[in-house]
Chains A and B, each alone.
Chain A
Amino acid sequence: MSMPFYVAPEQVMKDRADYARKGIARGRALVAVRYVDGIAVLAENPSNTLRKISEIYDRIAFAGVGKYNEFDQLRVAGVRAADLKGFQYSRDDVDARSLANQYAQILGQVFTHEMKPLEVEILVAEVGVDGPGDQLFHILYDGTVMDEHRFSVLGGDAEAITARLAELELEDVELGAAMRAAAAALTGPDRSLTAGDFEGAVLSRSNGRRCFRRLDDAEVGALLAG
Chain B
Amino acid sequence: MPFFTPGDDPGSNFPELLRRVGLGPDASDLAGPVSAPHATTCVALRYADGVVMAGDRRATSGNLISHRGMEKVVQADKHSGVAIAGAAGPSMEMIKLFALQLEHYEKVEGAPLSLEGKANQLSMMVRSNLPAAMQGLVVVPLFAGYDLRRRVGRLWNYDVTGGRYEELDYVATGSGSLHAGTVIKVAHRPGMSRDQAIDLACTSLWEAADADSATGGPDALRGIYPVVATITADGWQRLDDAELATRYEAIAAEVRSR
* Chain A contacts to B: CB under 8 angstroms: 51, 54-56, 73, 76-81, 83-84, 86-88, 102-103, 105-106, 210
Stretch at the interface among B100-108, B169-177, B202-210: B100-108
Contact call B110/A54, Cβ cutoff below 8 A:
yes
Task: State in angstroms the CA–CA spacing of A103 and B3 once bound together.
Answer: 12
Contact call A84/B110, Cβ cutoff below 8 A:
no
Contact call A54/B107, Cβ cutoff below 8 A:
yes
Task: State in angstroms the CA–CA spacing of A210 and B103 once bound together.
Answer: 10
B109 to nearest A CB, angstroms?
10
Q: A54-B107, A54-B110, A87-B18 are in contact. Are A81 and B23 (CB under 8 A)?
A: no
Task: State in angstroms the CA–CA spacing of A106 and B103 once bound together.
Answer: 25
> Can you report 24 A-B residue pairs in the complex whose CB atoms are below 8 A from each other?
A51-B110, A55-B107, A73-B3, A76-B108, A77-B1, A79-B104, A79-B108, A80-B17, A80-B108, A81-B1, A81-B2, A83-B17, A83-B107, A84-B2, A84-B18, A84-B21, A87-B18, A87-B97, A87-B100, A88-B23, A103-B1, A106-B1, A106-B3, A210-B103
The chain B residue sitting closest to A51, CB to CB, is B110
- Return chain B residues, CB-CB under 8 Å to A79: 104, 107-108
* Contact size range, B: 10 to 19
| Further pairs besides A77-B3, A83-B14, A84-B21: 18, Cβ < 8 Å | A55-B107, A56-B107, A73-B3, A79-B107, A80-B1, A80-B2, A80-B108, A81-B1, A81-B2, A84-B18, A86-B100, A87-B14, A87-B18, A87-B100, A102-B1, A103-B1, A105-B1, A210-B103
The chain A residue sitting closest to B104, CB to CB, is A83
In chain B between 1 and 34, which residues have their CB closer than 8 angstroms to a CB of chain A?
1-3, 14, 17-18, 21, 23
